[in-house]
């Protein structure tokens, strides 16, 4: 009895008080783990043609351009899923480092602000990652923890059933848009080099744009190449081909130099519309572009107006990975 009376009671270790520097490593580890998972999910969705994530504009935070109400709703659903997943890993990493586990709601909001803020501030992939991590640590500390470093409570708690319903709604909103807007530029944007080409009036370039495959069959109603200063350009007939293999497109200026017996296959007329793309097939678009007047011109967007097999009429503005820049050399 005397031994028990004089024994020291067990002490429970207090959680560490959170600081920006202390949280920075936790945010890095959590976001790295989430990035690996999102990368695997992205590959799976691309293979299944549910949400193709290739291309310069296809960052996981914003995998498509917001150019309408449906695109906005889909982006909100997708963003919720991404932020919830990243937040879950970040919160777990913070807890493993000995801090209070922050409320899921505050972490989700913090991740959303830092992730999309990083997109706005960074002008490269490295810059976006830097800002996302730096802002993540600062905003998590500011929102998810009180002044003394303890976890801040989240008053808007929801049961498991509500959380599952919200997640299902987000999946439906995001994938319903992504699966029916599956045409994404994956070709590199063209057969020319990047940068600006200084050329005289009459100079001709070839454009080749390869698009990812669509889960559903689609009937393309029209296709247009556009960009700033496109009025200075003469754009030849657009040639569409199923299967992703670019067709041979020879500008008339080059075609005239080739003897008729040796001329390559060339479709001199535009592809007739509507043009049907079967389910699961890629689409390639080719044409030639001639500088017809002095002035700077850029082609950076392919606009497709099409109807899916679900009967949904929609327009996709596809940003080319490598825009064509032409300027008059005099």
Q: Which helix (H) or strand (E) holds 64?
A: none
SS3 call for 257? coil
Identify the DSSP state of 289: E
Q: Looking up tokens 């002095």, which residue turns up? A: 294
Whether residue 40 is predicted with pLDDT greater than 90 in this model: the reply is no
Q: Tell me the helices (H) and strands (E) count for the chain, helix number first.
A: 7, 9
- pLDDT digits over 61-88, tens only? 777 777 778 888 888 998 899 899 999 9
What sign does the dihedral 51-55-57-61 (CA atoms) show? positive
- What is the per-residue pLDDT for 228? 92
**Topology (CATH level 3) of domain 196-328:** Immunoglobulin-like (2.60.40)
The segment with the largest mean pLDDT, out of 13-17, 25-29, 272-276, 289-293, is: 272-276
* Cα-based angle 23, 25, 26 (whole degrees, multiple of 5): 65
The arithmetic mean of pLDDT across residues 38-46, rounded, is 81
- What is the per-residue pLDDT for 74? 87
Query: Higher pLDDT residue, 162 or 184?
Result: 162
SS3 call for 245? coil
- What is the per-residue pLDDT for 56? 45
Cβ pair 79, 117 in contact under 8 A? no
- What is the per-residue pLDDT for 219? 92
Average pLDDT of the residues of the chain: 79
pTM, two decimals, is: 0.68
Provide CATH 2.60.40 ranges for the chain: 196-328
Whether residue 278 is predicted with pLDDT greater than 50 in this model: the reply is yes
- pLDDT digits over 212-258, tens only? 877 788 899 999 999 998 888 888 888 888 876 666 676 766 666 66
SS3 call for 195? coil
- What is the per-residue pLDDT for 14? 61
């Amino acid at each position: 009895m005397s031994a028990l009376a004089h024994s020291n009671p067990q002490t429970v270790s207090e959680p560490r008080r959170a600081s920006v520097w202390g949280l920075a490593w936790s945010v890095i580890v959590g976001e790295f783990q989430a990035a690996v998972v999102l990368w695997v999910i992205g590959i799976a969705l691309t293979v299944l043609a549910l949400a193709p994530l290739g291309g310069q504009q296809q960052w996981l935070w914003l995998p498509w351009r917001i150019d309408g109400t449906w695109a906005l709703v889909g982006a909100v659903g997708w963003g919720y899923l991404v932020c919830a997943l990243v937040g879950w890993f970040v919160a777990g990493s913070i807890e493993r480092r000995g801090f209070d586990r922050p409320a899921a709601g505050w972490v989700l909001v913090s991740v959303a602000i830092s992730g999309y803020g990083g997109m706005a501030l960074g002008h490269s992939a490295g810059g976006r990652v830097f800002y996302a991590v730096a802002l993540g640590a600062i905003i998590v500390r500011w929102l998810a923890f009180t002044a003394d470093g303890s976890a801040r409570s989240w008053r808007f708690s929801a049961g498991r059933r509500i959380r599952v319903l919200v997640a299902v709604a987000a999946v439906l909103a995001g994938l319903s848009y992504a699966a029916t807007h599956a045409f994404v530029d994956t070709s590199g944007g063209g057969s020319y080099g990047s940068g600006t080409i200084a050329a005289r009036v009459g100079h001709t370039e070839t454009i080749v744009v390869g698009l990812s495959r669509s889960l559903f069959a689609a009937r393309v109603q029209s296709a247009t190449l556009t960009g700033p200063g496109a009025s200075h350009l003469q754009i030849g007939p657009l040639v569409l081909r199923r299967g992703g293999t670019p067709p041979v497109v020879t500008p008339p200026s080059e075609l005239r130099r080739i003897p008729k017996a040796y001329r390559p296959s060339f479709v001199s007329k535009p592809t007739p519309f509507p043009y049907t793309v079967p389910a699961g097939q890629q689409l390639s678009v080719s044409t030639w572009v001639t500088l017809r007047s002095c002035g700077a011109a850029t082609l950076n967007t392919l606009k497709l107006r099409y109807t899916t097999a679900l009967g949904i009429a929609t327009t996709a503005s596809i940003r080319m990975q490598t825009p064509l820049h032409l300027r008059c050399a005099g």
